[in-house]
Amino acid sequence: MSSPLPTSSMNLETALIGQALLGGWTITSLRVEVSSGPIRIPTLSFEATDGQQSKALVKVLDLRIDPAAPDELKDLELRLMVFNYQRQLIERLAGERLRGVVRGLQSGSIPFASAPLGRIYFLIVEWSDDDLRSQVALNDRFDSAYALRVLHQTATALHELHQREVAHLSVRPANIVFIAETVKLGEFSCAVDARKPRPDGAPALDWASAPPEFLYQAPIDSMNARCLIDLYQLGSVVAYVFSGTSLTAQLGLKLQPIHHWKRWTGSFAEALPYVQHAFGDVLRDIAPNFPEACRDELIGAVRDLCAPDPALRGHPLNRAGQGLQYSTERYISLFDRLASRLELGIRRVPR
């Protein structure tokens, strides 16, 4: 979530507390969230409840003027268009009742005299108390078998999205949330629907979970290329749950300064050999953190999912033409099989 714009005399963060919305929802408190990356549309997040005391997350579009924008009116217009794009996508996915995706509950606008334009525009989605970051912090709970079940459900959620021609583009620990013991993908502000181009052209991804082709500014102009970003981010999550670190951050540390994406002036193709060498070093460093019983399979999965060259990314059988290159189906099966192996081993431990 981008920080709210500071230029308005109107304090929406407090003024909206107690405001009734559509569908019986009432805003009860501000929800302070850790940034989900460089999202282009600033929003405010709130907790809301309904008559049955069910909780929901409310995102309100912040339409306060940004004096730093080159064209303030165009900036406001783009915010409205991108917010509406996100709303329509979430509504479409909610209508398809996907199990692995945070469900949209209500959206719309209501009059609010002291707000910019005299209205507030909001989106209400399912509430989650925890995300993957907080779960990983609970080391006594987050054992290897449980981690693999989380990865299985995350890969399944991506498969659901890809089947519907949607690339998520922000598969990161903050956006993998836990709702009633179910793992779901949330935060669709970076998502791209192949059926309808984004008004802003392309989302600004969070560098900490972005793949090398994005960091080195290679063209990403197809649905296949975007879904391959999802694969990289899934592999990065695999690395995170076992090593507690960002794969991209580790990659940056292994690169010589002159080859780092922040300083590189050549093409992505020219940088690729250096990135691939650094990637090999990262894999060797993180390997000891993986459970010994399935270390080889998991490191192999990270190697294929996060291959710096997008042309080499994905399961080898998919790359050979046995399915879509960006399919996660074989990883769904892999994580399920490995989780079962570890669970069986746990059950065989003598008491």
259-296 pLDDT, tens per residue?
Answer: 999 999 999 999 999 999 999 999 999 999 999 999 99
Total number of domains in the chain? 2
The per-residue pLDDT of the chain, averaged, comes to: 90
User: Residue 179: which pLDDT band, with cuts at 50, 70 and 90?
Assistant: very high
92: in domain: yes
| 3-class SS string, 53-114 | CCEEEEEEECCCCCCCCCCHHHHHHHHHHHHHHHHHHHHHHHHCCCCCECCEEEEEEEECCC
- The answer on pLDDT for 201 being more than 60 is yes
The CATH number of the domain where 158 resides is what? 1.10.510.10
> Above pLDDT 90, what percent of the chain?
73
Q: Which residues contact 346 (CB under 8 A, 6 or more apart)?
A: 145
**Secondary structure class of 48 (helix, strand, coil):** strand
Residue 197 and residue 156 in one domain? yes
7: in domain: no
Residue 108 and residue 153 in one domain? no
Which of 68 and 275 is assigned the larger pLDDT? Answer: 275
6: in domain: no
* Whole-prediction pTM: 0.91
- What is the pLDDT at residue 326? 96
User: Residue 2: which pLDDT band, with cuts at 50, 70 and 90?
Assistant: very low
- The answer on pLDDT for 344 being more than 70 is yes
Residue 163 and residue 61 in one domain? no
Residue 209 and residue 293 in one domain? yes
- Two tokens at 78? 């783009």
Q: Which of 32-46, 87-101, 164-178 has the lowest mean pLDDT?
A: 32-46
User: Residue 51: which pLDDT band, with cuts at 50, 70 and 90?
Assistant: confident
Residue 75 and residue 148 in one domain? no
The CATH number of the domain where 119 resides is what? 3.30.200.20
User: Residue 42: which pLDDT band, with cuts at 50, 70 and 90?
Assistant: confident
179-210 residues labelled b (16+ CB within 10 A) or e (exposed): eeeebbbbbbbbbbbeeeebeeeebebbbebb
Last residue of a domain, one of 90, 109, 126: 126
Q: What is the DSSP letter of 297?
A: H
Residue 112 and residue 209 in one domain? no
User: Residue 34: which pLDDT band, with cuts at 50, 70 and 90?
Assistant: low
CA dihedral defined by 196, 153, 303, 165, rounded to 10 degrees?
Answer: -10
Last residue of a domain, one of 69, 101, 126: 126
Residue 217 and residue 289 in one domain? yes
Residue 240 and residue 299 in one domain? yes
**Secondary structure class of 218 (helix, strand, coil):** coil
- What is the pLDDT at residue 58? 96
Q: Provide the residue range defining the domain that includes 227.
A: 130-347
- Two tokens at 202? 């392309």
4: in domain: no
Residue 287 and residue 342 in one domain? yes
Distance of CA 141 to the CA centre of its chain: 23
Last residue of a domain, one of 78, 105, 126: 126
Q: How far is it, in rounded angstroms, from Cα 88 to Cα 221? A: 22
Residue 145 and residue 51 in one domain? no
User: Residue 159: which pLDDT band, with cuts at 50, 70 and 90?
Assistant: very high
Q: Which of 43-57, 136-150, 176-190 has the lowest mean pLDDT?
A: 136-150
User: Residue 5: which pLDDT band, with cuts at 50, 70 and 90?
Assistant: very low
Tokens 């659901």 map to which residue?
160
